[in-house]
């Protein structure tokens, strides 16, 4: 039985959505540069919007962490903003001709490097990537 690839499904869905908007992948030249720049900035913006929904992110403000209803509402809003960021992140990958499988393998390779860095306390701090 074949395993369902959720990441590949997200890439396929996002590619179809972008193609419905008239974009073609992979992109080349100035069109690629402009698209990548724009969608990277949109991704960062969505991540900042997500951060604004995270209770406690402002260190100078007092928060009521006991309000479970408010906590749930804010987590739901934060998740929506994170999903928006993922849309733009996948768009950038598509423009760079990076597939879901490519991204997964690159992640695994970088993960191994990061684990090696955890062991190398002489040159790396424990809480960095």
Predicted local confidence at residue 129, as pLDDT: 63
Q: Are 124 and 117 in contact (CB under 8 A)?
A: yes
What local confidence, expressed as pLDDT, does residue 39 receive?
98
Full-model pTM:
0.86
CATH of region 7-98 = 1.10.287
Nearest of 43, 53, 52, 47 to residue 76 by alpha carbon: 53
pLDDT beneath 70, residues of the chain: 1, 127-129
* The pair of three-digit structure tokens given for residue 85, joined into one six-digit string: 């960021």
Tokens of 62: 């007092």
């Amino acid at each position: 039985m074949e395993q369902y690839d959720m990441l590949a499904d997200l890439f396929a869905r996002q590619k179809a959505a972008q193609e419905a908007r008239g974009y073609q992948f992979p992109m080349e030249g100035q069109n690629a540069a402009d698209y990548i720049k724009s969608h990277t900035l949109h991704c960062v913006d969505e991540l900042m919007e997500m951060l604004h929904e995270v209770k406690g992110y402002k260190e100078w403000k007092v928060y009521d962490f006991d309000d479970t209803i408010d906590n749930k509402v804010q987590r739901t809003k934060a998740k929506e903003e994170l999903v928006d960021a993922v849309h733009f992140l996948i768009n950038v990958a598509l423009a760079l001709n990076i597939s879901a499988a490519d991204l997964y393998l690159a992640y695994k390779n970088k993960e191994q490097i990061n684990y090696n860095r955890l062991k190398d306390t002489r040159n790396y701090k424990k809480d960095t990537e």
